[in-house]
Every structure is written in structure tokens, then in C-alpha cells.
Amino acid sequence: MRRARPPYRSGVLRSATALLLALAVLPGALLGQDNWRTDFSKATVPLDEIVSGGPPKDGIPAIDDPSFVSVRAADRWLGDREPVLVVEHEGVVKGYPFQILIWHEIVNDEVGGLPLSVTYCPLCNTALVFHRRHEGVVRDFGTTGRLRHSDMVMYDRQTETWWQQATGEGIVGELAGSRLELYPVQTMAWQDFKRVHPDAPILSRETGYDRPYGRNPYTGYDRSRGPMATFFSKRVDDRLPAMERVAAFSVGDAEVAYPFTTLEERRVLNDRVGGDAVVVWWTPGTSSALDAGQIAQGREVGSSAVFRRTVDGRALTFETERGTRFKDRETGSIWDLNGVALDGPLRGQRLEPIAHGEYLWFAWAAFRPETDIRGR
């Protein structure tokens, strides 16, 4: 069992030495310490925007050979309101608990034969999944230990290009300027996951590392007024509170964000983005992974889902039905959290999911300042 180094805030900022490390900028002596093969002459961003988060290269270890357990087994250590990232491909569903992702940040895996990297940056609350097949090569990703605008900077082990997790953009190295393809996923409370996907495998705590899974090393982080100044030097977009959660995504050139405070009040927002008819819905019952010392005890923040709302050429208009279900006004069909029609004339139909994230506002706005805030 390998003891991995603590993440950015857990022990990193508790001494003057660690603080100096966190303030160190690139390129500098830190580059040589990690024996990088990265081509630092190729960069799409100023190198001095990239700072050390404290841990070295792979100091926060990715999971490269994930193991899984049954829903029944995972139910022994997952609380009902804990957030789980749901990844589905070709009828295969896997669940990735945030209580594990928060300590590892990257899981290199396959779902239904599709190579994917499941990623989570706690400082931005960005749980995003990317295709690992890029330019014909299946890539494996690790953590650089660096941050840009508080967001994790990943690297691929094949070229050691550095990638911005919040955008999937290669920012330093051979593949700088290219992008990873985002894969649509959904965050769901464990109580909902085990009801909707009772036979799905769940990422196991048997990772090969000694970590206190279930504990939150960033206690109270999303109750703070803004990001840690150590890691975030940009001006925060004050159109929303810095730590407001938003369901945010891009369609074509359009970039939009829907505040959770609005979604909680309205539950369903039917909209048009970039010419597409979309629906954003919110469901209660999911706890924050960044609040209480134990993730299971975090305050409720809910979770979101985003879909194209066109079926057979007709745009549907959705409203809440009961519990975690929704109804379209046009046919009266009942739909579940996954965008599947359970009953009514459209039974068996499925809405097309749109890749989105549940970002903290400051993080989304830092990379997409032209964002249109919807629903207010």
C-alpha cells in the first residue's frame, strides 16, 4: 500500500516552506526536479500563469488500473447523498465516487470499450471526462502538481504535453494548441445512482494507495468567499459569487452558465443555445464534496443534467413531475434522471446528453469570460 502525498490544501499550505513552493512559478528550478521531457518552447499560455500546487509530478497519483465493486459492496461505505460521477457508453455504466476522485484526480479507464480519462479538480469542482484516444493514440494522463487559475494541469505520459483540465486544451509541449474531446457525464447522488443503476460497477477503494477515503481534505472550501489567492491571480468575474456552482457548457461558439441557485428554484430550464433546443434540469439530494470534513455529511447542493430536447425533429418542453422525474408537455411522457422516457407515447426514447460541468463560477469564468449567464 503506497502512501501518496496530500493534495493541494491538505498540508500544503501549513508551513512557510510549502507556501514558498506554492508561489513558485515556471519555468524555474522546479522543472528540473521532476525530470520533464516536455517541450517548454511550445506554449499557448504565459508560463508564469502556471504555479506549483505543492505536490511534485504524480504526487497526486492517478489510478491507472482501477478495480470495481458491486453496488451492494459500495453501499457499505458510500452515504446516500454522496456525489458519484456517472459514465455510460454503449449500455455500460460505471460509477466513480467523488470520495475517491478527490484524492486521485485522474482515473485512466475504459467504459464499454471506450478509452476515457475521468478527472476531477477539487479547487474548481470540475468533474470532467475526456476521450483518451487523441490523434490516433490512446493516452494516459497524470498530474503535474501544477495549477493554472486554480485548475489542475494534467500531462499525458506519451508526449508529456501539459493539458488544462478545465478546458481540455494542450497548453505546453508537443501537442500545445490541440484539444481533448469532452465526453458527456452526469453527477448523481448515491441514493439515486443505486436505484437507477443497481447492477453497475463502482470504483473501488482498493486503489493501492493509503488514503482516508470518505474524508474531505478541503473542509469548508466551497463556503469561502473566493478561490485561494495563492493559486488564482486573475480578477474574479463578479456577475455571480465566486463560489456559486453553475451548470456550464458550450454549444458551437456559444458558452452558457446556469446558476445552481436559479436551477434549485426552477428545477427545469428549457432554452436555446447556439441554435439548439436544450433543457437543463436540477435534482435535490446530492451533497457537496468540498464542505464538511466527511463528504457524506456535506450540505446539499443538488446536481444537474443537460440534454438536447429535440426528439424525432420536435422540440419538447419539460417540467418537473415528481421526485426526480420530468414530464414533457407535448406528449405527457415521463422521463428519468438519465433522459430516458419511462412511460407515455415516447417510452424508450432517449434525450441526447450535452457535455457539461458543475463548475465553481470563478473557474468557468476564468477560462470563458464571454459566458452568457442564463436563467436569472
233 band by pLDDT with thresholds 50, 70 and 90 = confident
Helix (H) / strand (E) element for 68: namely: strand 68-69
Query: Which residues, at least 6 apart from 26, have a Cβ–Cβ distance to it below 8 Å?
Result: 40, 47, 48, 50, 51, 146
pLDDT at 5: 53
Instruction: State the Cα–Cα distance between residues 273 and 371, nearest whole angstrom.
Output: 12
Q: In 3-state terms, what secondary structure has residue 330?
A: coil
In this prediction, residues 194-223 reach a mean pLDDT of 97
Structure confidence by residue, pLDDT tens digits, 95-115: 999 999 999 999 999 999 999
| Residues 149-155, mean pLDDT to the nearest whole number | 98
pLDDT digits (tens, 9 = 90+) for 358-368: 999 999 999 99
> For the segment 50-92, what is each residue's pLDDT rounded down to a tens digit?
999 999 999 999 999 999 999 999 999 999 999 999 999 999 9
Q: Report pLDDT for 24.
A: 39
3-class state of residue 156 by DSSP: strand
Judged against a pLDDT cut of 60, whether residue 301 lies above it is answered with yes
pTM of the predicted model, to two decimals?
A: 0.92
Of residues 31 and 139, the one with the higher pLDDT is 139
Gap between the Cα atoms of 13 and 19, Å rounded: 5
Listed residue (359, 353, 172) closest to 255, CA to CA: 359
Q: Nearest 5°: CA angle at 312, between 309 and 314?
A: 55
What H or E segment, with its residue span, contains residue 101? helix 98-104
Whether residue 10 has pLDDT greater than 50: no
Label each residue of 4-47 as H, E or C.
Answer: CCCCCCCCCCCCHHHHHHHHCECCCHHHHHCCCCCCCCCECCCH
- Classify residue 344 as left (phi > 0), alpha (psi -120 to 50) or beta: left
Greatest CA span in the chain, whole angstroms? 65
Whether 337 and 186 have beta carbons less than 8 Å apart is answered as yes
30-34, 79-83, 192-196: least confident range: 30-34
Report pLDDT for 311: 97
